[in-house]
Amino acid sequence: MIEDKSLESAIKLSTYSWWEATLFKVRQYLLSHYVALKQSTQELRQTQLGTLLTFLMIGVSIALPAGLWTAVHNMKGLTTGLSHNAQISLFLRLNISQEEIDNVMMVLKNNQAIAASHYISPEEGLKEFSSRIGLQGLNDSLQDNPLPAVITVEPKLVGENQSELEKLTIFLRNLPGVDNATLDFKWLKRLHSLLIIGQRTVYALALLLGLGVLLVVINAIRYLIQRYHKQIQIYQLMGATDPYIRRPFIYMGLQYGFWGGLLAWVMDNLILLVLTPSVRNLADSYGVNFHAPYLGMLALWTLLCIGSVLGALGGYCAVSSYLRSQQRG
């Protein structure tokens, strides 16, 4: 019985020892990261001007593709609204009868590809035309109304369905009583193509400027490594491991990218704040609802993560390159 109790006590003691050893290792690991972060923060505070310039360079490099992506994304939303407002104008024959007009309206109402249609009589068309040009008495001065009746058709096909819209226009043009049908959609098709080119250009620019951020961080960290070259050699002689030497510089790069991403978010929002009134006036002229495209919290966290990852990667590459050169030497 005594031996069983001794065995049980030994098992508990070994379990506690393993748990305490694991907890001690975790604490030491976290403490080492805290010390490295504190050292990197102190170093950045000592070189305030150089640190600020690096922050600004990274911020501009991140802000440019982020701002362009926001502009292209919102322009795509704007053109979607314009696509919803696309109309087909049906110009009816001058001598068309009311029965033929009713037949055309019935065909349009039963067509599944048409969302709505509106009939404009020649009298209404002349009245609207005279009000637009500022001649209110034009309809009284003319003996015969030269304008035909018009039916405006709002199709359900929107977005990238230009070919389907063209087929629908041809079908409506061949209806009995219809003299002509027009669809002013080529400019919107060109705009879609330009936006696709712009989107791909933004992706390419983001890759190039992301590489630029990486190079900026690597250059800044290499400068700091040269300053602490002798101190690093002393640490190596004392038996410091590569991760221990590398850790503070990685945190320096992470902070470069973090604060650069924050500056990019601020700069993009300031630019959007200035441009939003002009863009809203342009959207109102086309009858499209436009919402302010300010970068929110999701965009903020995205820019912070991108900047931090690029910064940490740049710090890692700079220190690793230095340590490899030391080993070869």
Work out the percent of the chain whose per-residue pLDDT is above 70: 73
Binned at pLDDT 50, 70 and 90, residue 7 comes out as very low
Q: Categorize the per-residue pLDDT at 52 as very low, low, confident or very high, splitting at 50, 70 and 90.
A: confident
Q: Which pLDDT band holds residue 328 (cuts at 50, 70, 90)?
A: low
Distance CA 293, CA 58 (A): 23
pLDDT tens digits along 279-318 = 677 666 655 565 666 777 888 898 899 999 999 998 899 8
Structure tokens of 48?
């305030």
Contact 154, 117 (CB under 8 A): yes
Which sign does the torsion angle of CA 28, 29, 32, 33 carry?
negative
Residues 136 and 130: beta-carbon distance below 8 Å: yes
Structure tokens at 135: 């001649």
Q: Please give the pLDDT value at position 154.
A: 80
Average pLDDT of every residue of the chain: 76
Local confidence band at 189 (pLDDT 50, 70, 90 cut-offs):
low
Work out the average pLDDT over 182-200: 73
Whether the pLDDT of residue 186 is over 80: the answer is no
E strand or H helix that includes residue 120: strand 114-120
Q: Residue 62 CA to chain centroid, in angstroms?
A: 12
pLDDT digits (tens, 9 = 90+) for 209-249: 889 888 888 888 888 888 878 888 887 788 778 888 888 88
> What domains lie within the chain, and their CATH numbers?
35-81+190-328 (no CATH), 87-184 (3.30.70.3040)
User: Burial code of 186-219, b = ≥16 C-beta within 10 A, e = fewer?
Assistant: eebeebbeebeebeeebeeebeebbebbbebbbe
Q: Which pTM value belongs to this model?
A: 0.61
pLDDT on residue 113: 79
